[in-house]
Amino acid sequence: MSAPLLRVEGLKTWFDTPKGIVKSVDGVDLDVGRGEILGLVGESGSGKSVTGFSLIGLVDKPGRVVEGRIDFKGEDLRTASPARLRSLRGDRIAMIFQDPMMTLNPVLRIGTQMIETVQAHRKVSRAEARARSVEALGKVGIPHPAERIDAYPHEFSGGMRQRVAIAIALLHEPDLIIADEPTTALDVTIQSQILAQVQKLAAEMGLGLIWISHDLGVVAALAQRVAVMYAGRIVERGTIDEVLDAPQHPYTAGLIGSTPMANERGKPLRQIPGSAPPALGRPSGCPFRPRCARATEICQTEPPETLTGQHGWRCFHPLQTPTEVRA
Ligand SMILES: Nc1ncnc2c1ncn2[C@@H]1O[C@H](COP(=O)(O)OP(=O)(O)OP(=O)(O)O)[C@@H](O)[C@H]1O
């Protein structure tokens, strides 16, 4: 198997706060290949966004990446200089945020901003930069892109604005895109149009894509593989089929049972009892144990073993069989 585009091992990102060290990301391993979409899913506060920011050197103080390796095409981004990371961010790696206005400047016409973006990294004429920008807008499904390029961000609907932000991310044909809940605020029909478009573009352009979401249904529809995050760690990973058909970690099974699209039709939705532990007050051993019906003594004393294999999980008492999961 060829080396993945991005391989992350043992990533830890902590925040020094007056109340103590918040271990937001506490040993994350993941990888993504070219043309592959990896869904990173978990409850609010599990550390998904901080993971995404850590990968591209965008964690601000009081946060810091304290440990781990971020191997991007053979280069360790954890030890890369701020200048190198800046240059990669504008070129080989792009990020798409939940709020497109994190990307778009409200006082500039879309075209002005896109042309500047192209010319910041490529020695091309204004006319060529404009042509590239129109093409990118067309690719993400903006109708009449040659005219719409002269509009301001506020002249677009929320869904169209997010498409523009995606077009900007695509401008340099990056190798990797990290998308942090970009369709969460949109209604489902717009969301599914954008997901279909992104899926097509990722395959056509051979992009590696990390799609961060709290919604397992979205990830199941979009991604080929999924990594499930809980309390700063990946607790299960595998292909969508492996994880959805035979989840091994009780948290994953709980997530499936409480997700309308992933749960079986006609079955009542189930809630995961309790709530995720605060980042400053995580229990010893397995952080999921206070919410877990399968927990035993060992879960209190030791953290579960590390992930191994393509379908891997971090649990002393995995579910083992699909029938047990659906019971
Ligand atoms: N600047 C900061 N200072 C202290 N703690 C922080 C800071 N930024 C994030 N955290 C903490 O890190 C943890 C993980 O946050 P993160 O935003 O990555 O979660 P998330 O899974 O993306 O959640 P959501 O879906 O709500 O965005 C949280 O407990 C959060 O409070």
pLDDT tens track for 8-56? 999 999 999 999 999 999 999 999 999 999 999 999 999 999 999 999 9
Q: Is 279 in the pocket of ligand 1 (CB under 6 A)?
A: yes
Closest atom of ligand 1 to CA, residue 52: 18
ipTM: 0.96
For residue 55, is it within any domain? yes
Choose one of 173, 192, 215: the last residue of a domain.
Answer: 173
User: By residue range, what is the domain housing residue 301?
Assistant: 6-92+174-326
Does 17 contact ligand 1 (Cβ within 6 A)?
Answer: yes
* Distance between CA atoms of residues 138 and 136, nearest Å: 5
Q: Do 318 and 199 share a domain, yes or no?
A: yes
Q: pLDDT, tens digit, for every residue of 194-205?
A: 888 888 888 898
Same domain, 313 and 228: yes
Q: Tell me which of 13, 48, 181, 251 to substitute to probe ligand 1's pocket, judged by most ligand atoms within 8 Å of the beta carbon.
A: 48
Report yes or no on 1 lying in a domain. Answer: no
**Is there an atom of ligand 1 within 6 Å of 49 CB?**
yes
Q: Cα separation of 40 and 208, whole Å? A: 13
Q: Are residues 125 and 13 in the same domain?
A: no
Query: Is any atom of ligand 1 closer than 6 Å to the C-beta of 15?
Result: yes
Find the 132 Cα to ligand 1 centroid distance in Å.
Answer: 36
Mean pLDDT of 172-196: 87
What are the tens digits of pLDDT across the range 146-173? 999 999 999 999 989 999 999 999 898 8
Compute the distance between CA of residue 283 and CA of residue 276 in angstroms, rounded to an integer: 11
Question: Based on the domain organization, do 187 and 271 belong to the same domain?
Answer: yes
Mind listing the pLDDT tens digit for each residue in 229-282?
999 999 999 999 999 999 999 999 999 988 876 566 667 777 888 888 888 878
DSSP class per residue in 92-134:
TEEEE-SSGGGTS-TTS-HHHHHHHHHHHHS---HHHHHHHHH
Residue 97 lies in a domain: no
Supply the pLDDT for residue 327. Answer: 41
Distance 47 CA to ligand 1 centre (A): 6
| Residue 196 placed within a domain | yes
Ligand 1 within 6 A of CB of 300: no
**Same domain (yes/no): 244, 187:** yes
Q: How far apart are CA 234 and CA 290, in angstroms?
A: 18
- Is 52 inside any structural domain? yes
Is 124 part of any domain?
yes
Q: What is the pLDDT of residue 286?
A: 94
pLDDT per residue as tens digits for the range 71-117: 999 999 999 999 999 989 878 999 999 889 988 999 999 999 999 99
In this structure, the strands spanning 312-313 and 75-76 are unpaired
Query: Do 157 and 193 share a domain, yes or no?
Result: no
Instruction: Tell me which of 138, 173, 208 is where a domain ends.
Output: 173
Within a domain: 62: yes
| Domain end residue (candidates: 173, 199, 225) | 173
Q: In the block, which residue shows the tokens 């075209």?
A: 111
Cβ 231 vs Cβ 282: under 8 Å: yes
Domains: count for the chain: 2
